[in-house]
Amino acid sequence: MAGMLYYPFANAPQPVIQQAALYWDSLSTVVAPGWEYRLSPGMRQLQKMQFYRPIEPYKSDERIALKEVVDELRYALAEVPTEELIVPDEPPATYAQTLDVHKLDQDVVGELLSRRLALPHPQTPIRLVGSPALIRLVIGVTVGHLAARANTRHGWAGPLGLHPHTDSAAAHRLNTDPIAGHEVTAGWQIDIGPLLPVPREDVSILDLLAFRQRYDDERVRMMHAIDDLLLGLRHAHPKDAFARVGYEFSEATKDLRGAAKTAKIDLVVKRGLAVTVALAAGVAADVLDLESGLSTVALAVIGGLAVNVATVQLRHEHTGTVAHPQVYRYLHRVQKTIDSSGV
């Protein structure tokens, strides 16, 4: 398993917190100094349980230098329409819509200021005012490099690995869609929401953490099956990848249902958690034709649940290896219940 790295804000919304508390090894967000006083109640609960791991890029060991992101940042900026990068005439009403300079290397801050893409906040100079598109792009690029660095050091599937998650479709696109100057690769986008049932909103975070502690074997089995599926998708057609892990998912789903029933926690199956998986080099050409355009593959059944799979064009990631990809990116869409009977 690995940790969830949520962006673009320091406080994750409740549905994301629930997903993290139930399945992932930790929840991280990128923070600025004084973050302890700005945590939401749900995030504070995770912190007290030592489940929340803040990333503090203003500390030297976590700082992302300009040289690490400048090419990707410039190429990505070139793809955003000019009108979407115009600095607002008035500062936003909340600081959540600004960039804290402590989250960025000072050379990155200098780059944004010199290009007039951002301006110091008139009331708080440590914050930069920029367009929503710019803020999503800068935080997203930074998060991708933070995740790649952690996964290089600790492995992408280990407890110290990080997988970027966002509930902003725009932020997700800015960090996965092809951009000029970068290689394009084929990939899959799979909705794994049906494989990871979530609690109803009235279930407390503390109850979820107690459930995962008591039934950790069931959680670990399901997440290992997810890891095996994602790795398999890099090398094969989804039908082949599903066939290899189908039995494991069936058993993991059965175990999870039994644990939830025993604990009297009502879990429901929802769509809306998509993950993009880039195909390994040499595999894409055999499975997909980038020249002709990509289309939806269809519906697959795994562990008795229907899963949507689509083909996508992705920005080529130079980090990682075939066996150890550095970044899988997750998108939490507005969730819609597809089975209210519980699992």
Q: Which of 179, 195, 227 is the last residue of a domain?
A: 179
Task: Return the pLDDT at 235.
Answer: 79
Task: Return the pLDDT at 337.
Answer: 35
pTM, rounded to two decimals: 0.82
Considering the domain architecture, whether residues 21 and 166 belong to the same structural domain is answered as: yes
Considering the domain architecture, whether residues 96 and 35 belong to the same structural domain is answered as: yes
Considering the domain architecture, whether residues 321 and 265 belong to the same structural domain is answered as: yes
Amino acid at 56: E
Considering the domain architecture, whether residues 5 and 124 belong to the same structural domain is answered as: yes
Question: Cα separations (Å) of 71 from 36, 78, 234?
Answer: 33, 11, 26
Q: What is the mean pLDDT of each run of 10 residues along the chain (343 residues)?
A: 88 90 93 89 94 84 67 76 87 78 83 91 88 85 83 80 85 68 72 83 86 90 88 80 84 88 83 76 56 54 71 62 56 50 29
What is the CB neighbour count within 10 angstroms for residue 40?
15
Amino acid at 137: L
Q: How far apart are CA 11 and CA 1, in angstroms?
A: 22
Considering the domain architecture, whether residues 15 and 88 belong to the same structural domain is answered as: yes
- 150: containing domain: 1-179
Task: Return the pLDDT at 339.
Answer: 33
Considering the domain architecture, whether residues 218 and 157 belong to the same structural domain is answered as: no
User: Which of 332, 334, 336 is CA-nearest to residue 7?
Assistant: 332
Task: Return the pLDDT at 291.
Answer: 53
Q: Take residue 225 and report the two structure tokens written for it.
A: 């099956």
Considering the domain architecture, whether residues 116 and 3 belong to the same structural domain is answered as: yes
Q: Tokens 């899963």 correspond to what residue?
A: 307
Q: Take residue 315 and report the two structure tokens written for it.
A: 């920005």
Considering the domain architecture, whether residues 190 and 175 belong to the same structural domain is answered as: no
Considering the domain architecture, whether residues 63 and 153 belong to the same structural domain is answered as: yes
Task: Return the pLDDT at 29.
Answer: 94
Considering the domain architecture, whether residues 123 and 213 belong to the same structural domain is answered as: no
CB 172 within 8 A of CB 206: no
Q: Which of 179, 204, 228 is the last residue of a domain?
A: 179
How many independent structural domains does the chain possess? 2
Give me the phi and psi of 15, to 5 degrees please.
-60, -35
Q: Tokens 């020249």 correspond to what residue?
A: 291
Q: Can you list the alpha helix ranges (DSSP code H) found in 65-168?
A: 66-79, 106-114, 132-154
Considering the domain architecture, whether residues 174 and 188 belong to the same structural domain is answered as: no
Task: Return the pLDDT at 325.
Answer: 46
Considering the domain architecture, whether residues 153 and 283 belong to the same structural domain is answered as: no
User: Which of 235, 33, 227 is CA-nearest to residue 127?
Assistant: 33
Q: Which of 179, 213, 229 is the last residue of a domain?
A: 179
CB 64 within 8 A of CB 142: yes
